[in-house]
A and B are shown apart, each in its own frame.
Chain A
Amino acid sequence: GAGVSQSPRYKVAKRGQDVALRCDPISGHVSLFWYQQALGQGPEFLTYFQNEAQLDKSGLPSDRFFAERPEGSVSTLKIQRTQQEDSAVYLCASSLYGQEWVSNQPQHFGDGTRLSIL
């Protein structure tokens, strides 16, 4: 499809396990974003990539969270030693341009990965 694709759609893990969430952005999109959405809340910014460069990771809640986009397309969000408070929907979004155009573009979102930590 032409949209942002995220996998898996649902992930259940035991506390302490590591998880990896995948995002396939729209082809050719320069900017890629990760958000965390708690139940009943709006998405909270985690990190931003321009191509393969991670330009902003100020929203990552702890050093257990790590994101990469090694070839400037697919991105992976990894959470190590998961905790119950990590349970949320993780949304990925992409937009066409980078640099000074980032803030004025609509972001195209995937369906998200619902992560449940037991």
Chain B
Amino acid sequence: AQKVTQAQTEISVVEKEDVTLDCVYETRDTTYYLFWYKQPPSGELVFLIRRNSFDEQNEISGRYSWNFQKSTSSFNFTITASQVVDSAVYFCALSEDNDMRFGAGTRLTVKP
């Protein structure tokens, strides 16, 4: 069975600090997809990134970057120079077939 672990329940940083959110997954499949979603207080999950299991290239998008390492089954997410608007719950998810399995989420609070 697939499983996603986000060990950090809550993180609090001061604005402009860098912060990394950890995600570790378990799967027996060789083909799978990894996602990160952001859930602001309004409740809607917002898609941030998708990665397939064959593409280990790290990706950078503005202040966001993702580090995918199959050897350690990890897909970590870093926010550089954090801002108050980054405060939200962030979910890592693993998808195989039509079943998307989410981690428990990491609540990030960025203080001014």
> Which residues of A are in contact with B by a Cβ distance under 8 Å?
3, 31, 33, 40-45, 48, 55-56, 58, 89, 91, 93, 102-112, 114
Cα–Cα, bound, A27→B91 (Å): 26
Cα–Cα, bound, A115→B33 (Å): 30
A116 → chain B closest CB, angstroms: 14
Are B95 and A104 in contact (CB-based, < 8 A)?
yes
Cα–Cα, bound, A44→B102 (Å): 7
Cα–Cα, bound, A26→B64 (Å): 27
Q: Which partner residue on chain A sits nearest B31 by CB separation?
A: A103
From 25 to 56 in chain B, residues with beta carbon under 8 angstroms from any chain A beta carbon are 32-33, 35, 37, 42-47, 50, 52
Are A56 and B104 in contact (CB-based, < 8 A)?
no
> Which residues of B are in contact with A by a Cβ distance under 8 Å?
4, 32-33, 35, 37, 42-47, 50, 52, 91, 93, 95-105
A sample of 8 inter-chain contacts (CB < 8 A) reads A40-B104, A40-B105, A41-B105, A45-B100, A103-B33, A103-B96, A106-B35, A111-B44
User: Closest 7 CB pairs between A and B?
Assistant: A42-B102, A106-B47, A109-B45, A103-B95, A102-B98, A48-B98, A111-B44
Are B47 and A107 in contact (CB-based, < 8 A)?
yes
Residues of A within 8 Å of B97, CB to CB, are 102-103
Among B45, B95, B101, B103, the residue within 8 A (CB) of A91 is B45
Given contacts A107-B47, A111-B42, A111-B44, contact A31 B102 (CB under 8 A): no
Residues of A within 8 Å of B95, CB to CB, are 103-104
Cα–Cα, bound, A43→B100 (Å): 9
11 other A-B residue contacts (CB within 8 Å) besides A41-B105, A109-B44: A41-B104, A42-B4, A42-B91, A42-B105, A55-B98, A56-B99, A104-B33, A104-B52, A107-B45, A107-B100, A111-B44
